[in-house]
Amino acid sequence: MSETVHSIARTVRPHWSHRFRVLAIGLIGAVLVWLVDGLFFGFLIFQPANSSGWDTYRWYNFEHRWRTVQAERSQRAREPLVLIVGSSIAKYSVQEHVLEPVLGERLGRSVMVRPIVHAAMMPTDLVYYTERIRDLQPDLVVYI
């Protein structure tokens, strides 16, 4: 009788051990994929200067510009932020280096004006970007 119990125990133990090992390997694999993904997409892709034409990779350029504004925003958090959002019309019709001093003079304080644009941005694109734009906590968003 005891021999039968011991043989059953020996056959059950490796089965649970194997399941645990598979689960642990799967969990470690998922964490590694998550870390590599975060390192690659969250850091390495956006670290180098964006040397592509502004209209070549629209969503990459939008994300790169968004991250740049986010970094500036963390350094200049007390300044009001005016975001100019839109397509090429917004990019070429608003000159931030001219508008910043004008608004600063009128308001009596420094103002940060930043365009976040990409080629052929449609109003529907703006709807999809609303969460990302809201994360920057702008004081004014102008869609052109």
Task: Say if residue 125 is exposed, middle or buried (CB neighbours under 10 Å; 0-12, 13-18, 19+).
Answer: middle
Q: In this predicted structure, what is the pLDDT of residue 133?
A: 96
Task: Tell me whether residue 20 is in a domain.
Answer: yes
pLDDT higher than threshold 60 for residue 9: no
Task: Tell me whether residue 52 is in a domain.
Answer: no
Q: Do both 20 and 90 map to the same domain?
A: no
Task: Tell me whether residue 53 is in a domain.
Answer: no
Task: Tell me whether residue 121 is in a domain.
Answer: yes
**Could you give the CA distance from residue 122 to residue 59 in angstroms, rounded to a whole number?**
13
Mean predicted lDDT score pLDDT of the chain = 87
Q: Do both 72 and 135 map to the same domain?
A: yes
The total of other beta-carbon atoms located within 10 Å of residue 1's CB is 5
What pTM value is reported for the model? Answer: 0.72
CA angle 91, 94, 97 (to 5 degrees): 110
38 pLDDT band, cuts 50/70/90, is confident
Task: Tell me whether residue 21 is in a domain.
Answer: yes
The model's pLDDT over 67-86, given as tens digits with 9 standing for 90+, comes to: 999 999 999 999 999 999 99
- Domain containing 78 equals 58-143
Q: In this predicted structure, what is the pLDDT of residue 17?
A: 82
As for how many domains the chain has, the answer is: 2
